[in-house]
Amino acid sequence: MALVNADPSLTQRYPLPSWKRAERAFKCSPFRLDLLISLRRQSVSVRQVCHPQGVKNGYARRSLSELQADNELMWLIAVGLLRREVDGQGLTDSFRLTPLGHHLCDHLEQLSTSQLQPTWGDYLTNAWHRWLRIPSWWQG
């Protein structure tokens, strides 16, 4: 992982396993960094992320169905990067960054393209955590 150059205060605010899991989850996701950058400024609807529109907007690496996009975004919620947007009537189909997501976005912007590429180990670990749905309090 590329945490060597990370701000030391981040690992004091967020446990290192949580930080690593969130970074790995984003790197292994079908989304581009432009999605996090947009989410830093405004909420983004799932419809802006799926189908050819997601690729056109620069949010996704490949065209995703609405169900696929929603499942991927829900995993990013589970690891603490995103939250659902709420309006006066309840939950919406839009997403926003959490405080961890803001810090991770700042960190990922400083990385090179090659550093943003996940390793096979990252893919396997992410799949394992996703399958087990290891909770955020787990320090393993």
pLDDT band at 116 (very low <50, low <70, confident <90, very high): very high
Cα separation values, 22 from 47, 65, 130, Å: 23, 23, 12
pLDDT of 30 strictly over 60: yes
Question: What domains are defined for the chain?
Answer: 14-132 (1.10.10.10)
pLDDT of 119 strictly over 60: yes
Residue identified by tokens 């405004």 is 42
Tokens encoding 32: 């581009």
pLDDT, the chain, mean: 87
Q: Are 1 and 16 in contact (CB under 8 A)?
A: no
Look at 51 and 140; give whichever has higher pLDDT.
51
